[in-house]
Structures are given as C-alpha cells and as structure tokens.
Copies of this chain bind each other. A is one copy, B any other.
Amino acid sequence: MPEIPLSEKTLTVAGLSESDLLARIFPRLEMDARHSAATVLGPGDDAAIISASDGRTVISIDTQVQDQDFRLRWANGYHTTGFDVGWKAAAQNLSDINAMGATATSLVVSLTLPPGTLVSWVEDLADGLAAGIRELGAEECSVAGGDLGRGREISVTAAVLGTLNGGRAVLRSGARPGDVLALAGTVGHAAAGLALLESELDVHSLTPEQRALLDIQCRPQPPLWAGPLARTAGATAMLDISDGLVRDGARLAGASGAVLDLEPRELGRLGERLGPASELLGVDPLTWVLGGGEDHGLLATFPSGIQLPSGFTAIGSVQALGTTESPGVKIAGRVTGAGGWDHFAD
C-alpha cells in the first residue's frame, strides 16, 4: 500500500482551487473516460446534454444536509464517511426515478463544502456516488455535470434524469378499489438503523444483523429493478417510501381518492426482520415499519387477480372511500395514528 504523505491526509478544500478539486473528483466518477450511452455531452461546458430518446425526460431533485440527513459523528461512535453520503445521494435520487417506473439516465450534483472539509472526504464522496450508481444497478446512468461551492455545512444536491423508454409513467393517483397493495424492498430497516446510530451503544458491539440495519440507514438499497418491472406488469399507482409507510401511503391514498388497508399479519412479518434492533433497544418494531422512511422501498398497487411481479409482496388492499370518509391508511379496517417524517413540523 503506498504511503500517503501527511500533507495529503490533512489537505482541505480551502487548499485547492475549484479546478484542482474538480480534477480530483472527475476521474473517480469516471467522467473523463466512460459516459453512459445516454450522455451526449458530459461535464466541462455550461451544461450537459442527455439523450431523451422517447421525447420526454423524467426529473427529480433531492438534497442531503449535514446534521439534518446525516451526522458526521453519531452518538454510538459511528463516523459517516464521504462514501456513505455519496451513496445515499445516488440512492435517494435514483429511487425517485424508479418510483415513476422509469430508468435513470443521468445525475448532476451540486456540492456545498465548508473550507475545512478534507479533500480525502470529498474524494470518498465521489467514490460512493459512483459505487451507488453502479452497485444499485443504474447501468445506464452516469454523472454528467455539477457545481461546487462553499458553505458553513456540507450539503449535497443531486438532480436525476430518467427515461420511460416510450412507456407510461406510474403515478400516485391511479389506485382503484379492489387493487392489491404491494411492497418491494424493505421498510423500517433504515429507521431501526437510525435508532442504533442515535443510541449510545458502541457501534463496535453490534451483531452483524444489527450492523446490517445500520448500514441500510447509511447506504440505502432501493430496489431499482422493481419500478420498471411494476410498470410493465400493470401497476396502477406507485411511490417510494421515503417518509414512512403510513405517511407515504396516505399520499398515494390522497392522490387516488381511496383508502389503503394494511394487513396486520404482513406488518408483523415486516417487523420480525427488525428483531435484532427492537430487542436491543426495547422498541416496538411496528413503530419503524409504519413510521420509518429512507429505505426507499416501493409501494405499488396492482389490479387484483394478476400475478405480482417477482420481488413484490402483498401487504394490503385498496378500498373505496366511505361516504363521509377521507382518503388515508388503515390497519385491518381501523384508522392508524402512526406518523412519519415531516421536514419542518416538530
């Protein structure tokens, strides 16, 4: 292993010009060598150009801010790496494209960095971003451009483009009474991982199962294969669970003018997977299943009678609104008060 000079280990972004910092980031994103097929013009000009072969572009934008979306050092001693933050930026943005039934073609990234940020941390972020795109399976996607600036706190914003390849988009508004409600990916794991990070239980004392939950919080694993699959299978509505099953479910229910009824036995099964954390911390796992976001699992509805696509599990059904009823989420026919994540309300 080559020895890294001390000056390199302690080098901060204040010690480099913008172009020098970019010159360290670009190769890690493979921006200089390999572009995805969708990239017509990559970084280096005023804007990038991305192919949109069916005449439409799907677009979303999402920001992560230090001490809001991640802490550099958690109560349990875990240090968030640049790799984690880069991975998470990729994961949560790619998930929004997945939730439309689309495939990501390009990311552009804006980084705000305090002057004291280590250059090695930023390089690690670039590595995590590239690894997230690649390992989550967004093979047609690459980073096509970005922006760098200073601030008092680290902030990473990515905008992601995608293609529907000529198909329809799966909106939140298409669920119909009688549809099956189904889930792909996990729910509650990232919330259990957050609870472990915020506990004072030493990160090194965790079992592999507990550590796996923590890792989902730091490096979410959205099921990117599931969105396009659900679309071609005939999904009527879909969204990604970023703020919690009940909160996001209520959004889908509201857009569709219906009620989502969750099956208690299925919720119990989802909760069982959280046992390694719930037993340690003495928390009811249903709290995490119903209220936890950030796994970026997909919640979708399908016409009853069709075979669910591989990887989806039925967890409930769509029901018609009663005459005096508002759209929302129930459990076995009863209204639930479980919440989820709101960025402003305390």
Please tell me if A56 contacts chain B, counting CB pairs below 8 Å.
Answer: yes
Please tell me if A266 contacts chain B, counting CB pairs below 8 Å.
Answer: no
In contact, A61 and B161 (Cβ under 8 angstroms)? no
Kindly list chain B residues whose C-beta atoms are within 8 Å of the C-beta of A239: 45-46
Q: Specify how many copies of this chain sit in the oligomer.
A: 2
In contact, B60 and A49 (Cβ under 8 angstroms)? no
Question: In the complex, which of the residues A57, A106, A108, A115 has the most CB atoms of chain B within 10 Å of its own CB atom?
Answer: A57
> In whole Å, how far is A63's beta carbon from the nearest beta carbon of chain B?
4
Kindly list chain B residues whose C-beta atoms are within 8 Å of the C-beta of A144: 59
Alpha-carbon gap, A164 to B55, bound state (A): 13
Please tell me if A127 contacts chain B, counting CB pairs below 8 Å.
Answer: no
Instruction: Choose among B100, B149, B160 the residue that contacts A69 (Cβ–Cβ < 8 A).
Output: B149
Alpha-carbon gap, A14 to B342, bound state (A): 11
Kindly list chain B residues whose C-beta atoms are within 8 Å of the C-beta of A209: none
Instruction: Name 8 interchain pairs, CB-CB below 8 A, sorted by A.
Output: A14-B346, A48-B60, A50-B56, A52-B56, A61-B109, A61-B146, A63-B112, A152-B153
In contact, B342 and A100 (Cβ under 8 angstroms)? no
Near B by CB (< 8 A), chain A positions 11-65 give 13-14, 16-18, 21, 40-41, 44-53, 55-63, 65
In contact, B41 and A171 (Cβ under 8 angstroms)? yes
> In whole Å, how far is A42's beta carbon from the nearest beta carbon of chain B?
11
In contact, B96 and A46 (Cβ under 8 angstroms)? yes
> In whole Å, how far is A21's beta carbon from the nearest beta carbon of chain B?
6
- In the complex with contacts A45-B172, A157-B157, A345-B18, A62-B100 CB distance below 8 A: no
Question: In the complex, which of the residues A47, A57, A99, A239 has the most CB atoms of chain B within 10 Å of its own CB atom?
Answer: A47
